[in-house]
Amino acid sequence: MNKFLLVSFYFLIFHSIFLCFSQTISPDDLRCEYQLNPLGIDIEKPHFSWILRSEQRNQMQTAYELIISDNYNDIHKKKGNIWTTGKVPSSENIHVEYKGTPLKPFSRYFWRVKVYDKKGKSSMWSNPAWFETAALKDSDWKAAWISDGKKRPLNEKDFYKDNPAPTFRKVFDGNKKIKYARLYIAGLGYYKAIINGDRVGNNVLDPGWTAYDKQVLYSTYDITNHIRQGKNVISITLGNGWYNPLPLRMWGKWNLREQLTIGDPCTTGLIQITYTDGSKDIIPTDHTWQVIPSPILRNNIYLGEHYDARLEQETINNPETVLENPRYAVKVPGPQGKLTAQLQPPIRVIQVVKPLSIREIQSGIYIVDMGQNFAGVARIHVKGKAGTKIRLRYGEDIHKDGSLNIMTTVAGQIKQGNGGLGAPSVAWQEDSYILKGGHIESWSPDFTFHGFRYVEVTGWPGKLNMNDIEGLCLSADVEEAGKFSCSNPMFNKLMENIRWTFRSNLFSVQSDCPAREKFGYGGDMFCTTNAFSFNYDMSNFYRKIIQDHVNDQRPSGAITETNPYMGIADFGTAPDDGSGPISFQIGFPFLIKHLYDFYGDKRIVSNYYNAFKKQAEYLIGCSKNNLMTVDISDHESLDEKPYKLTASAWYYYHIQLIAEFAQLLDKPSDAQKYTSLAKEIKQAIIDQMFDKSTGVFDNGTQSAQIFGLWFSLVEGEDKNAAFERLLETIKSRDGHLSTGIFATKMMFDVFRALDRNDVAYRIANKRDFPGWGYMIENGATTLWETWAYSDNTYSQNHPMFGSISEWFYRSILGINPASPGFEKIVIKPQPVEDLIFAKGYYKSIRGVIASSWDIIGNTFHLQVEIPVNCTAEIWIPSTNGTLTESGKPIEQIKDMLITGHQNNYTIVSVGSGKYTFRSFL
């Protein structure tokens, strides 16, 4: 009997190994709503996606089978009691919509998938994945909003006085053996939760910033390991964040307390404990929670945080501690916005930066150089006498004498006492810490963040050493999606600077800068959306940003300049209606298009179509004779701006997009209406702003010519003439650009489309003003807001000109989508000048797309990887059409077809797999 069992055991093992190696295709990287094993989603019909693996070329999925169960053992037995699709003939491996029985709130579900290859052969079942629901309906959230009940200051001056952040405390029992436990929490402006003395999770500055009257985000935490059988205690400390800002008058006029949805710090949440016997306990926020003042005396998103460690009450995190005469929380209405699960990646510490140098510039005044501009806070490790006060001030630059220059990071340009009553005359970034004494104390702020490279430290006990201070880099914890490097060292340094800039500006909004403003501008997003997504997985981040636009959409249909909206409305489409410049309103529909193009998410187009249509109709109402005249135009251009052209071109693009979306969603009446209107707008622009005899658009600047070309306003000889005029303007500037943020992004697209990467390369490779090389030559470690160096006004950490990163991926590596979600791909590297190699990849929603090439003598080598279930058109530079792949002539390789020759390229059609091509230049 024992021998029989042993033989059976080995048979099963070898059978499994045989199946593993014999399968031609396998599903992997299972995701629900773009996430691996998401904890706490509130979507009733979530989407499922997976990546396919195969060692074979030209593999495709022809069908799939997906099962979902609420029982872990059943899913291992390949049983799905919640949903079983059966075999579905389909090649789709992204955005498979749930169609099973209604999901329950606060429940975990397990799922697996198997697929069928191009010959109909089945894979093995995938490893199990899971997702967990949170509150699916408003009625599922059985917790109150609570506050500390303190009265708000009566005048503006009092807002700047000490006002300790409140801590809420609750002792509760876990009476039985615990199976698992969850914390669902929203805390405004920000929160920090501690259970039994241990911090919950590693999110910081949570939840993400929204228009709180429309939407409030909550997070879900697995707290199973925090809870013990018996007594437990939770404490929640609240920061002000964007919900309780100071009455700072940004630029001397916009008071955030008058522009944002505001209120006193408040929280709502619930702990749910599930026991091994199946019973549950729920501990909600209510009036029974105790309130204690915290050691955080002041905290503000701009001015910083001030902490007095002498006021710490560590015993409050001991469940046995009994407070004398405690105060209790007060139930409050809360901000009224819909509670929504936070799917956007949370903000976390993504890197720790050690100082490059420390210099004592005066007695007791130290300048710490972190060697890198970034967004975050400083963390100190200090030992000294109780009551010693350490002061930290932050800046991006230093003066010639080595002292701190705070001027490029001053909040809202408040420099001359124009910030309102009680505001500092200069609104710099500053944190302070008062020691409790006795041992080494480690501290970093909880409820603020700064943009800086340098820290000025005063009040330090003794000598400040390199191990005493470090920088905590904060950013939304987005997954890395791409990499790029090449033989040009300046480009590699530029790419490094771009990535630092991008990560410095992901704080639940894609901000313009992490110090002076911190706002999400729609125009900036148009410029850099593609660039961000080639570097990072921005799927859920941008879904949130799209909703931000809708949350603040004006009743007229207008989209605001910033989202969330904070009052800025310069160059609005119509006066005094809160509308943003039309070039910034484009951020809303462009993000919708982007999520469809990059991630194949048609659901986004459908969900937001009506909001976009409302915006389009608003713009139609603002137009006159099919033209627009008001716009901020090509922001930060060095030339006179072509306002009328850019305004009308953006109007044309809005109408083009709504027509495209209507066609996609099978709305023929809308599609016909908007397509016809787009043609009329285009003709009006040509009639009014194009000189056919000279090829000049509007004022003939680089920006004007690029706008005309990017929007394809003219074709044929007119297009050639317009492009020649563009080349003339570049030549007149000694090969430099003069464009602002929009035309700079568009310029590289135009050069790529016209196979003129030689011009793009020369512009990108300039080391003098204006250009990216000029920034690097002047010591920049992040991108500047302007082409010129500024030590007094403009930010030195601004993503707008990071659009060139898209050029690295799409022109130099040649990775381009040819259909939504990269199902079809074009690989068209454009080697140029002295560039002798480039390598990189982009991890699309369907898998890794890689392109690496080098030139040795006159031989061009190209290595390409195409994901399973995708096809690609490979454009291989070749002067004579002689090609080999893995050492064999192309003509001898099965399933590989030469489809054409064009502009010294040979075009080859391939399926999935890895390829090595060789050609001659």
Q: Give 247-292 pLDDT, tens digit per residue.
A: 999 999 999 999 999 999 999 999 999 999 999 999 999 999 999 9
Is there a single domain that holds both residue 833 and residue 730? no
Distances (CA, A) of 370 to 334, 351, 469: 40, 13, 10
716 and 634, same domain (yes or no): yes
In a domain, 818, yes or no: no
Give the residue from 476, 491, 524 where a domain finishes: 476
Q: What is the reported pLDDT for 2?
A: 53
- Type of residue numbered 302: Y
Rounded to an integer, what is the distance from CA 617 to the centroid of its chain?
A: 29
Question: Which two three-digit tokens encode residue 384?
Answer: 């000294």
Instruction: Judge whether 807 lies within some domain.
Output: yes
Beta-bridge partners for 375: 451
Q: What is the mean pLDDT of residues 912-918?
A: 98
State the residue for tokens 């996609």.
664
356 and 339 in one domain? no
Q: Report d(CA 851, CA 833) in Å as an integer.
A: 19
Residue 310 confidence class, pLDDT cut points 50, 70, 90: very high
Whether the pLDDT of residue 12 is over 90: the answer is no
361 and 439 belong to one structural domain:
yes
pLDDT at 3: 54
> Tens of pLDDT along 638-662?
999 999 999 999 999 999 999 999 9
Average of pLDDT values for 564-590? 95
180 falls within a domain: yes
Q: Is the peptide bond before 564 cis (omega within 30 degrees of 0)?
A: yes
| Residue 727 clears pLDDT 60, i.e. is over it | yes
* CATH number of the domain bearing residue 402: 2.60.120.260
Q: Does a structural domain hold residue 821?
A: no
For residue 194, the surrounding DSSP H or E stretch is strand 190-195
Residue 473 host element (H or E)? strand 469-476
pLDDT level of residue 8 (50, 70, 90 thresholds): very low
Residue 196 CA, chain-centre distance (Å), reads 33
Q: Which residues lie closer than 8 Å to 582 by C-beta, 6 or more apart?
A: 573, 619, 628, 630, 631, 647, 650, 651, 654
pLDDT at residue 14, rounded to an integer:
45
Contacts of 396 (CB under 8 A, 6+ apart): 373, 405, 408, 409, 451, 452, 453, 454, 515, 795, 796, 797
Res 10 pLDDT > 60: no
CB atoms near residue 230 (< 10 Å): 9
Question: Is 266 within the bounds of a domain?
Answer: yes
Listed residues 328, 346, 364: the one ending a domain: 346
Question: Among residues of the chain, what percentage have pLDDT more than 70?
Answer: 98
Spell out the alpha helix ranges (H) of 41-84: 72-76
145 pLDDT above the threshold of 70: yes
For the record, the structure tokens of 712 come out as 């394809």
Burial of 86: CB neighbours in 10 Å, binned 0-12, 13-18, 19+ = exposed
Instruction: Encode pLDDT of 70-102 as tens digits.
Output: 999 999 999 999 999 999 999 999 999 999 999
The partner residues of 349 in beta bridges, in order of sequence, read 474
What is the domain extent for residue 202?
138-346
pLDDT tens readout for residues 673-709: 999 999 999 999 999 999 999 999 999 999 999 999 9
- Between 807 and 13, residue with greater pLDDT: 807
Of 813, 841, 871, the last residue of a domain is 813
Least confident stretch, 48-52, 185-189, 661-665, 900-904: 900-904
**CATH number of the domain that residue 541 is part of:** 1.50.10.10
Residues 761 and 876 in one domain: no
Structure tokens, 805: 């990163």
Average pLDDT value over all residues in the chain:
96
Q: Is the pLDDT of residue 16 over 50?
A: no
Does residue 767 sit in the same domain as residue 882? no
Q: b/e string for 561-597 if b means 16 or more Cβ within 10 A?
A: bbbbbbbbbebbbbeebbbbbbbbbbbbbbbbbbbbb
- Check which CATH number belongs to the domain holding 22 and give it: 2.60.40.10
Q: Indicate the number of domains in the chain.
A: 5
Between the CA of residue 252 and those of 248, 428, 525, 570, 579, what are the distances in Å? 8, 15, 26, 15, 21
Structure tokens, 327: 């105060």
pLDDT value, residue 152: 87
Q: What is the pLDDT of residue 573?
A: 95
Residue 657 to residue 613: CA distance in whole angstroms: 10
Answer yes or no: is pLDDT of 774 > 80: yes
Distance separating alpha carbons of residues 637 and 658, to the nearest angstrom: 28
Q: Using one digit for the tens of pLDDT, what is the confidence trace for 446-480?
A: 999 999 999 999 999 999 999 999 999 999 999 99
Identify the band that residue 894 occupies on the pLDDT scale cut at 50, 70 and 90: confident
* Domain assignment present for 96: yes
- The CA distance from 593 to 605, in Å, is 7
- The length of the chain in residues reads 921
Average pLDDT over residues 897-916: 96
Residue-level pLDDT at 6: 53
> What residues form DSSP beta bridges with 757?
none
Residues forming beta bridges with residue 898, ordered by sequence position = 908
459 and 393 in one domain?
Answer: yes
What is the model's pLDDT at position 15? 41
Could you give the residue ranges of the DSSP H alpha helices within 552-638? 582-585, 587-599, 602-607, 609-622
Same domain, 504 and 470: no
Does residue 426 sit within a domain?
A: yes
> Contact 600/823 with Cβ under 8 angstroms?
yes
Report pLDDT for 13.
46
Whether residues 153 and 244 share a domain: the answer is yes
Same domain, 799 and 839: no
Number of H helices, E strands in the chain: 18, 50
Secondary element (H or E) of residue 684: helix 668-689
Mean pLDDT of 140-159: 94
Is 699 part of any domain?
Answer: yes
Give the pLDDT confidence of 528-559 residue by residue, as tens digits.
Answer: 999 999 999 999 999 999 999 999 999 999 99
Q: Is residue 812 pLDDT above 80, yes or no?
A: yes
125 and 148 share a domain?
Answer: no
- pLDDT tens for 171-201 read 999 989 999 999 999 999 999 999 999 999 9
- The pLDDT, as a whole number, for residue 880 is 86
Do 248 and 329 share a domain, yes or no?
yes
Express each pLDDT in 248-258 by its tens digit. 999 999 999 99
SS3 letters across 242-311 = CCCCCCCEECCCEEHHHHCCCCCCEEEEEEEEEECCCCEEEEECCCCCEEEECCEEEEECCCEEEEEHHH
Q: Produce one character per residue of 12-33: b if its CB has 16 or more CB atoms within 10 Å, e if not.
A: eeeeeeeeeeebbbbbeebbbb
